[in-house]
Amino acid sequence: MTIEFTPPAVAYDAAQSRHHRSAAAENVAAVDEAISIAKAAVGGSDTYDKVLLRAAAGAGKSYALRRMVGELLDEPDCQRIAVAAFTNKQVFALAGALGTELGADAVCLFVSRDRYAGVPAEVRSEVSVASSTPEIPADAQVVLGTSHKLGAIRERSRLLENLGAAREDPEADESYPFDVLMVDEAWQLPLYLFNRIEKLAPIAVGVGDVGQLPPLDPNQNPWRGDPGYNPYRAWPTAYEGASTTFSIDLPAVWRPTHAQIPLWRAFYGDWDRLDCVAGPGDRTIERRDLGGDEELVWDSVASGVPTLVEVAGLEDSEAPDIDPPLMGVAEQLIESLIEGGFAVHSTTYDGEGEPAGSARASSDSPSGDPLIVVLATRNQAVDDAQEVVDRLTSKHDLPDGVLVASTVDSWQGQTNAITVALHPLSGASRLDEFNSAFGRLAVTCTRATHGLLLLARDGLDELLDAAPARPGTPFGEPGTRELPRQTHQRILRTFARGVWEMENHD
């Protein structure tokens, strides 16, 4: 039986979309406003002590954070800024970029001794590196570290002793080693870890993707007192309603194809507006004619429209999210694409979002982000995916960067050209906290710059039609909410969908 794709019920509408400079300008305006508020707070002319820059996946939030750091340091009332993140990987990347922009003398990467040797050489050449507080240069303007390092016991006191106070608050009888605390991927950091670093500066700026997966499950609230307090929740959610908090959205994303923007909007449905910089024709996939159902699948993916293939007639799986037969379908489709070679073409842009050139990466000569990433939710399923990757890499002698496998959780913050993933609800008999996590599905669907292909056993509609209602947004955390059936259905309406009858397929 030939696959027949049903176009998305909610499709790209050119009349409702902005691209290129007009889309990018929205982010510039939002960052300008956030910088203006932060400068006023630093200068004492405003009472805000929290500034939150809310972003969707692929919005260019790291660039926004670096720009804020540079402009705040130009203020006469800002001597020193701390930059914190949850992981060393995030901190290393930011340190290298800030060191390049501000100079190695101005930026210090603060790491634990056991991580010192792991600092990449390209980062080490752009910054000073310290593993103890006395090693931090007294004239460093930016100090970067993980929340664990900067929030260690008595670390604030040691910073004050070695660097001195950047800011005094006589009324509160407080001294701060930094003027501003910047938190990258703020919605990934739980409240209890933020509380350990909050007193490093009187003003905190949080930048991040509100759909980020948290390191701890906020449903497992260890607090047994006030039910409105949850130390595992993303820290910005504790301050978003405060009169001293300024919050603004970045209303444009750089990562997706134009045809994926309805999917992005489905995830961030409470935003006033969300556009993408890439316009029609800016991202394409070049490949040979494949023939058969594989051709139809890759035609749909190459159009840029999110694509869901539901597979019927498979052998039973070991578990809903451990499904070797469905992974075998993924292998079949991936192999059909790589056998004859393929390439991805991308329009490049200047800093204002205007097209400035083009780039090409091929399966013979990959460059930049990985070309194909296979994502799964459980470690055992990723072991199956890794076997697929190893098998195809060996069989077709693929160079590094063509095909990789990962858990969804480990791949957040990463970008790739084509995503092939098993839908978290595939084969499930009910919705639960794991398969319905907002962040897990958001990460799965928002990594790709050129094409998104989800695979599932048939029956998703029947599952959602029969599923009982579930809580939607406990405490309002946008990055950790469970997805009730109506939200799942809204997201699926943005996909081109087809059913593949495997029992009739040779």
Whether residues 366 and 247 share a domain: the answer is no
Whether residues 270 and 245 share a domain: the answer is no
Q: Is residue 108 part of a domain?
A: yes
Whether residues 355 and 246 share a domain: the answer is no
Which of 253, 272, 292 is where one domain is finished? Answer: 253
Q: Is residue 372 part of a domain?
A: yes
Check: CB of residue 73 under 8 Å from CB of residue 102.
Answer: yes
Whether residues 482 and 464 share a domain: the answer is yes
Cα 358 to the chain's mean position, in Å? 24
State the residue range of the domain holding 127. 20-253
The reported pTM is 0.87
Q: Quote the tokens at residue 212.
A: 């980020």
Q: How far apart are CA 210 and CA 299, in angstroms?
A: 32
Q: What share of the chain is helix, strand, coil (3-state, %, to 5)?
A: 35, 25, 40
Whether residues 62 and 96 share a domain: the answer is yes
DSSP secondary structure letters along 403-463: EEEEEHHHHTT--EEEEEEE-TTTT-SS--TTTTBHHHHHHHHSSEEEEEEEEEES-HHHH
pLDDT in tens, the chain (506 residues): 578 899 999 999 999 899 999 999 999 999 999 999 999 999 988 899 999 999 988 899 999 999 999 999 999 999 999 999 999 999 999 999 999 999 999 999 999 999 999 999 999 999 999 999 999 999 999 999 999 999 999 999 999 999 999 999 887 789 999 999 999 999 889 889 999 999 999 999 999 988 776 555 545 555 554 455 566 778 898 898 899 999 999 999 999 999 999 999 998 877 888 999 999 999 999 999 988 899 999 999 999 999 999 999 999 887 777 889 999 999 999 999 999 899 999 999 998 999 999 999 999 999 999 999 999 888 888 999 999 999 999 999 999 999 999 998 889 889 999 999 999 888 888 887 778 777 788 889 999 999 999 999 999 999 988 877 655 544 443 444 567 788 888 999 999 999 999 864 44
Q: How far apart are CA 369 and CA 380, in angstroms?
A: 25
- Count of structural domains, the chain: 2
In the block, tokens 């130390």 appear at 231
Query: Residue 422: how many CB atoms within 10 A of its CB?
Result: 29
Whether residues 35 and 158 share a domain: the answer is yes
Q: How far apart are CA 162 and CA 339, in angstroms?
A: 60
